[in-house]
Chain A
Amino acid sequence: MSSIPSLSTRPPSSRPRRKVGPVKIISLLTLIVTTFLMLLPLFFMVMTSLKSKKEMLKFPPTFLPESWQWSNYTEIFDTLQFGTLYKNSLIIAVLSVIGTLISSALVAYGFARYKGKGNKIWFMLLLSTMMLPYPAIMIPQFILFSKMNWIDTFLPLIVPAFFGSAYNIFLLRQFFTTLPEEMFDAGRIDGCGELRMWRQIALPLSGPALATVAIFAFIYSWNDLLTPVLYLSSSDKFTLPVGMASLTSSRFRIPPWHLLMVASVLAMLPIVTLFAVAQKQFVEGIVLTGIK
């Protein structure tokens, strides 16, 4: 594979340092202001999660908690079966991510590399599956899964991911199309089959895109409320969003907002971790991939 021309795809950061000009200062300032705005929700969530139930009723609302209720963070485990919810959500999300990555990358490659006759039609069909709003297919989909005897199992939440998600296929296709043709030509000369080119050329070069898909797929599955509500009926199979929704479901009493915020903060931990790890991909993705 050495014959593949090594593209100078170093990240821009390794470019020769320029002087700190006005452009950079302005961008830094803009970033600080927007970051402040973007982080406000986090601040608000954490502060609310540490307030007492009584304090939540106060008007005007307090900015910082009057007394810091760290016990809220243990109380959530008594109020909801938080551990079970967390575990279920994790199982479903991780499997969905694996399924989405494999299948979407495979299908997207097919769509990106071959522009045959049927391609356009299939591609439009693919897009069309995203154009019907969920409420419109909810009932027929339920009928389908209930005939397969999948109700009250994780299957309806996981298996479809293994057959690709239209959004991610489209996304990866766009990325695969930007890969330079010469690399594949070189691969072909080396006698690589398509599957091998997929694995050894396309995938390694698409680090940032694959990381993006992983994050999107995780968040999608992690925060999904409608599907688990519809398909799960035993409470020991419930997921985090379902449990959190139960906190605000009573029409007759004041919801425990403070506990909801505790749950939201804890629910964000895996996403933040995943993101912090994956965002490195956006910096180093291409450099690290071994084109040897």
Chain B
Amino acid sequence: MKKNRKTFGTLFAASALLLTTLAGCSGGKSVEDVASPGSNSSSGGKGDKVTITYYTIDSEDRTFVEKLIPDFEKEHPNIKVKMEKAPYEQFDSKLQTLIAGNKSPDITSHYGYGGFAEYYNKGMLMDLTDLMQETGFKAEDYNIPEHLMDIYKVKDHTYGIPLNMYVTLMMYNKDMFDAAKLSYPPSDYEDKSWTFDKMVEDAKKMTVHSDDITKTQYGVDFTWSERDMRPLYFGADPYSADTWTNGGVPSETHFDSPEVIAAYHKFFDLIFKDKVSPNTEWSKSVAGQNGDPFVAGKIGMSVGGSWIMAGSNDFPFKVGVAAVPWGGNDKVRSPLFVDPLLILKDSKHPKEAMEFIKFLLTTEVQEKSIELSGGNPPVNTKAAETYYKHFEGVDPEDVKKVYEGAVKYGYESFNHLIVHYSQINDMFINELQPVETGHKTLEEVMGTIQKKVTEIIKR
């Protein structure tokens, strides 16, 4: 026993020593930082090969970039691009862990649940303004409209460069329209007859209520952006105007104002009064957890992000695209979801990263990406022409009109631009739930929501 104890003692001491050395270096720079001073000097362009990391979601519509890397490396023999990926659910946690472990990737986008504002406010992003100048990046060279570049500017500094642009549009089930003998909705945003009320009218004619869930169908599913943004559709603004100049931190919110509550009433009327829209429970019963009941052919019109067009070739019915109807807001009708490329602050090779970003934005690569990704909408307006033709069975002219109208009446989605957005969204989903099931009234919950939004933003 005595002997055992002694060996144990040395063992313990050795382990403890090991432990302290491990703990000891956690504070300072990592081994690599110290060991590779040479890699910094190589950013001049000559000499050693530089490796940059591109971090993205592990799904086909994102990882296709891997197929483009060989072309880039041929053009830039001194730069090697490595792709790091994670499933959607783990995207944010892995990114944060990588940063904490001193393995920060160079380029990424806000593909997880946190948006641009979140990343910006945490100081995760590199200011690209000077870098763009140094590397001679001009938006017009890549046919990126200037107002899209403005989305990711804070106080005249650019922190992100747009890559893809999803818009909000309407998709409709032609078979259901035909069955109800209705004419198809227009794709022209200037068509003044296409209003919210007209949409409800059409929807009523397509709605069927039945005890048999397999026979029930609804006229419209109006998932216009996230819940907190919806009042904007009717012209009520829940966030104060300084939000966008203040790095995504609104000084005031108005969720309990009569205008905002009135706007929400109009949305819930679709479910409770006009009965032309399904509630969440029905949608989930028909389409599963993350599914869309439109895909099952049970919805006449569906308003949502243009990603709902992906896979439309497989739908067991004919589809068309139309404009989002006018609802009382003359300026804003279509939330835009512009995904930017971001360079992280800890990047050791920002110049090389910038080269890769430029490569991904060229008309040629943007066009190629549409096919490879299976229909990611390019931000490059020249490449967009190819995108309009991508969807079988949908008139390219309609897609084009809808996209142009959506951009004209577009507004970048709040989920990218407001700080702590994923928390705000979680809170909205949970707090509005009793309203959706009819257990509480809007008047009862909006006060709480206003209070909680304020708390979350202040954090």
Contact = CB atoms under 8 A, between A and B. Distances in A.
A142 B314 contact: no
Given A57-B315, A146-B102, A249-B59, A226 B88 contact: no
Contacts of A53: 314
A230 B298 contact: no
A230 B101 CA distance: 11
Contact of B58 (A138, A230, A242): A242
B30 interface: yes
B84 interface: yes
A153 interface: no
**Most chain B C-beta atoms within 10 Å of own C-beta, residue among A135, A144, A252:** A252
A245 B31 CA distance: 33
A225 B93 CA distance: 13
B97 interface: yes
A59 interface: yes
A253 B101 contact: no
Nearest to A144: B22
A155 interface: no
Interface string A55-66: 001111000000
B87 interface: yes
A60 B297 CA distance: 11
A147 interface: yes
A249 B88 contact: yes
**Most chain A C-beta atoms within 10 Å of own C-beta, residue among B31, B86, B166, B310:** B86
Interface residues of B, number: 50
A253 B311 contact: yes
**Most chain A C-beta atoms within 10 Å of own C-beta, residue among B30, B287, B310, B314:** B314
Binding site secondary structure of chain B = mixed
B87 A245 contact: yes
Contacts of A146: 30, 101-103
Interface in A227-279: 229-230, 233, 235, 242, 245-254
Contacts of B83: 235
B61 interface: yes
B448 to A, nearest CB: 28
A139 interface: yes
Contacts of B310: 252-254
Interface string B90-116: 100110111011110000000000000
B37 interface: no
Given A57-B314, A147-B22, A151-B103, A235 B30 contact: no
Interface string A131-175: 000010011001110110101000000000000000000000000
Contacts of B93: 135, 138
A15 interface: no
Given A142-B100, A147-B22, A254-B291, A54 B314 contact: yes
A21 B315 CA distance: 57
A246 B58 contact: yes
B85 A253 contact: no
B297 A59 contact: yes
B296 A250 contact: no
Contacts of A138: 93, 97
A230 B97 contact: yes
14 contacts: A57-B314, A58-B296, A59-B297, A59-B298, A142-B98, A143-B102, A144-B22, A225-B87, A226-B90, A229-B90, A230-B97, A253-B311, A254-B310, A254-B311
Interface of A: 53-54, 57-60, 135, 138-139, 142-144, 146-147, 149, 151, 225-226, 229-230, 233, 235, 242, 245-254
Nearest first, the 6 A-B pairs at minimum CB distance are A252-B307, A249-B59, A245-B87, A250-B59, A59-B296, A246-B58
